[in-house]
Structure 1
Amino acid sequence: MTTFFDGKKSFADVPIVDTKIDTAAFLEASEALVKLFDLLGSTAFAVVQKDMTGNIEKVRAKLLADPAQASTLQDLILSEAGTKSKKATQGLLWLVRGLQFTAQAMRNTVNDPSKELQATFTDAYNKTLSKYHGMLVKPIFKVAMMACPYRKDFFQKLGDDQTKVNEELEKWLKALEEIVTIIMDFFAKGDYGKGL
C-alpha cells in the first residue's frame, strides 16, 4: 500500500541543526510539496505551482552559485542581507509564504474532518497569502479555492490505506509547520523581508 508521501523527500527528513535548516533537503521537500497540488486536480492551481517552482529555482540558483554561503536557509538570507541583490531571499520568502498557506490549509483539513477542502483552503488563504496579494492576484486564488476537490476524493488520491495516509500526513505536516515557523521567525527578527 503506497501513499503520496512514499519515495518523496519529506519535510520530516530535512536536517535542522541548532534551528538552521539544510537548504538542499528543504528544496527537495518543497518540490515534493508542489506535486501535492496535482492531487487537487484543477488547472487553477497551476499558478500556485508555477509561483512556488519559480521561487524554488531562485533559491537553488543561489545554492549552486555559492554552496558555502547558502548551505542553510539562514546562511543564504544572511549572505544577501548586506547586498543589493536579494533575489534568493525574496524567492525564499515567497516560497515560505506559500508553504505557510499549504500547512495552514492542511492543518485545518486534518483538524476538522467535517470541513471540505474548499472551506479549509479558503480560510488558510485569507489568513496567510491574501494580505500580500493585490486585486489582480486575489481572484486567481479564489478560483483555485473554488476548484478544490471533495475531501474524500482528495484523501483517496493520497493513498488507499487511510490510516497510513493519516500517519504520514501528520508527520509531514508537523515538520512543515516547524520549518515554516523557524524561517518566518528568522525573517521577522532580522527584518529580512522588508521591501521584498
Structure 2
Amino acid sequence: MKSSRRETEKRSEICSAIEELSMMAIVKPGGEDHEFAHIPTKPFLSLCYLVLQVLDKIGPTMVVLRQDVHQNIKALEMMHESNPSLNSNLVEILKTEAKEGNARNESSCSKAFVWLTRTLDFTSLLLQTLAKDPEKIMEQVVEEAYDVTMKPWHGWISSAAFRVTINLLFFSSIV
C-alpha cells in the first residue's frame, strides 16, 4: 500500500516535470544554413537543470546519470560565465572548440553538450512513454529509454553497470 502511494506521488511529480519541460523553449537551428544556428546557452542550461529535477523524481536509480549531467552542466556554465556575452550561443562555443582542436578533449564543452543532448533524448523518451502509459512499470520505462538513447553510446562496462544499478535499486525499492 505504501509503495503504491509513493509510486503515485512520483508519477504526479513526473507529470508536473513534463509540463514544466514542455514550456521551455529553445531555438533550434533551422535548415541547412548553419551560419545562423543559435542555441542560447542560459535557456539550454535551465532546461538541463529541469532534467536534473526529473532524474531526482525518478529516484536513486538515476544517481550516476544525475552526477554526469550535473558535471556537464557545470562545464558549460563555467564556459558561459567566463565571458557571458561571447559565450551566449552554444553553437559558437562548439565552433570555437572545433577550430582550436579542443572539441574531442575529455573536458571540452563539446563533449559536455553531446552528453547533455543524449540525456535530453533519454529524458524525453522516458517522459513520453510515461505520458502515453502511466501504468507502465518504471523499471521497464527506464530500461527501454536507456536502450534506445544511451546504450548505443556506452561501452559494455557502462551498459553492464547500468543494468546492475537498475536491478539493485529497483529490487531494493520493492523490498
Helix, strand or coil for the counterpart of 1:136? helix
TM-score (norm 1): 0.64
Q: How does 1:58-69 map to 2 (within 5 A)?
A: 58-69=75-86
What's the counterpart of residue 12 of structure 1? 23
Partner AA of 1:32 in structure 2: L
In the TM superposition, structure 1's runs of 4+ consecutive aligned residues that sit over 6 Å from their partners are none
Q: Does 1:101 align with 2:101?
A: no
What's the counterpart of residue 33 of structure 1? 51
Counterpart Cα distance in 2 of 1:132 and 1:34: 20
Counterpart Cα distance in 2 of 1:45 and 1:117: 12
For the 8 Å contact 1:23–1:70, the answer to whether it is kept is yes
Choose the corresponding residue for 2:102, options 71, 80, 85: 85
List alignment gaps of at least 5 residues for structure 1: 150-196
TM-score (norm 2): 0.70
For the 8 Å contact 2:28–2:39, the answer to whether it is kept is yes
Aligned-pair identity (%): 21
Distance 1:142 1:66, change over 3 A: same
Provide Cα deviations, 1:54-76, integer angstroms capped at 9, x if missing partner.
11011111111232332122222
Provide Cα deviations, 1:48-93, integer angstroms capped at 9, x if missing partner.
1100001101111111123233212222212222112220111111
Q: How many angstroms does 1:127 deviate by?
A: 0.8
What's the counterpart of residue 126 of structure 1? 147
Helix, strand or coil for the counterpart of 1:90? helix
Counterpart Cα distance in 2 of 1:106 and 1:17: 21
What's the counterpart of residue 113 of structure 1? 134
Structure (1 or 2) with the greater helix fraction: 2
Matched residue count: 146
Counterpart Cα distance in 2 of 1:41 and 1:78: 36
Choose the corresponding residue for 2:41, options 23, 30, 53: 23
For the 8 Å contact 2:13–2:57, the answer to whether it is kept is no
